Amino acid sequence: MEEEKIKKVSIICSKGSLEGVYPALILANGARMEGIEASIFFTFFGLDAITKKRMGNIKVSTVGNPGMHIPTVVGSIPGMSAMATAMMKKTIAGIDIPPIDEFIEMIHEAGGKLYGCKASVDMFKLTKDDFCEQVEKILTVGEFYEMSAGAQIIFT
Amino acid sequence: MPTATFGNHQVEVNDEGFLTDPTQWNKEIADAIAKEVNIPELTPKHWELIDYLRKYYTEKNDMPSIRFLKKNGIIPIKDLYSLFPDGPLKKASKIAGLPKPYSCV
C-alpha cells in the first residue's frame, strides 16, 4: 500500500532561541517547497521571532544547552551567547539559509501563513501592531485547531 | 535505468521521472513533462525560468536555490509559486530536464 502524502502541516513554534526558531522556519518553508500547505503558530517565547522589536535579535542559548558542548558556568559568562550567536549566524549564512526576518518574508511570499497565539500575546501585553506585517492574525487555540483541520501538527 | 517516452523522444529518467541526462532534453519534452505535472501550457514567463535554470546548470553544474532566484532578480517568490504551483523549483527543474534540487531552503 502506498502511504498517503502529507498535504498540510501546522507548526507550533514555542521557543525564542535561534535553535528554537530555525527548525520551525525551515520546516514551514520546506513544506511550501514541496507543495505542502504550511502555517506556523507562534506561541510563548516563540513570539519573539515575529515581534518587530525582537526578531533581529534572536540568540543561541549557551546555558543549559548540552548541544553547545560548553560547561554552563562558561556559557553564563557575559557575552558568550552573543558570541556563539554571531558564530552560528555566520555559519547559517554560509549555507545559504536566510536571517530570520528574510526567512519570514520568504515563507509569507511562498504562501505560508503566520499566526500569533492569543494567550501568549495577552500574557506579554502585545498587540497585532507589535508583529511584523507578514503575520496574518492572532488566533485562539480553538481557531488554531480549526485552521489545522486535516494537517499534521508539529511542535517545536 | 528506466526510460520515458515524450512524443517521439525516448529519454532516460530516474524513478521520480527526472531526466538523468540533461543533454537529451528538448522543448517538446519540456511541454510533455509540464502536462504531466499539471501545467497545461508553458507561457513565455515559464520559459524565462526554464531557460535560466538550464543556463545556470550548464555553467555551474548545480541548481540555484529559491532564495538565489529571488535575490538576483530572476523571479519573485510569489510568481514562482503561481507559475509552478505545488513544489515550484522541483517542478521547474523537472520540466527543464535537470536533476531534482537537493537543498533544504
pLDDT for A37: 97
Question: Which of B67, B85, B87 is opposite residue A106, by nearest beta carbon?
Answer: B67
Residue B44: pLDDT over 80: yes
Q: How far is B74 from chain A (nearest CA, A)?
A: 15
Count how many domains chain A has: 1
The 10s digit of each residue's pLDDT in A108-140 is: 999 999 999 999 999 999 999 999 999 999 999
| Domain ranges across chain B | 3-95
Say which residues have a Cβ less than 8 Å from residue A55's Cβ, sequence separation at least 6. Answer: A48, A49, A100, A101, A104, A132
Residue A1 lies in a domain: no
A128: cell is: 497585532
Question: Which of A26, A35, A97 is opposite residue B86, by nearest beta carbon?
Answer: A35
A63 lies in which domain range?
8-155
Backbone angles phi, psi at A125, to 5 degrees: 55, 50
Q: What single DSSP character describes residue B17?
A: S
Q: Is the separation of the CB atoms in A2 and A144 below 8 Å?
A: no
Sign of the C-alpha dihedral computed for residues A58, A60, A62 and A64 taken in this order: positive
Residue A107: pLDDT over 70: yes
Sorting pLDDT into bands at 50, 70 and 90, what band is A1? low
- CA distance linking residue A18 with residue A39, whole number of Å: 19
- Are B77 and A109 an interchain contact pair (Cβ–Cβ within 8 Å)? yes
Residue A63 lies in a domain: yes
pLDDT for B81: 97
Residue A70: pLDDT over 90: no
Residue A117 lies in a domain: yes
Selected residues 36-95 of chain A with any CB under 8 Å from a CB in chain B = none
Judged by a CB distance cut-off of 8 A, whether residue A26 touches chain B is yes
Q: Among A5-14, A54-63, A140-149, whose mean pLDDT is lowest? A: A54-63
CATH number for the domain spanning A47: value is 3.40.1260.10
Residue A114 lies in a domain: yes
Residue A2 lies in a domain: no
The 10s digit of each residue's pLDDT in A21-57 is: 999 999 999 999 999 999 999 999 999 999 999 999 9
The 10s digit of each residue's pLDDT in A77-103 is: 999 999 999 999 999 988 889 999 999
Residue A3 lies in a domain: no
Half-sphere exposure of residue B24: CA atoms within 13 angstroms, side-chain side = 16
Q: Is the separation of the CB atoms in B17 and B5 below 8 Å?
A: no
Q: Among A118-122, B6-10, B19-23, B53-57, whose mean pLDDT is lowest? A: B6-10
pLDDT for B103: 87
Residue A76 lies in a domain: yes
**Is B29 among the residues known to form the active site?**
no
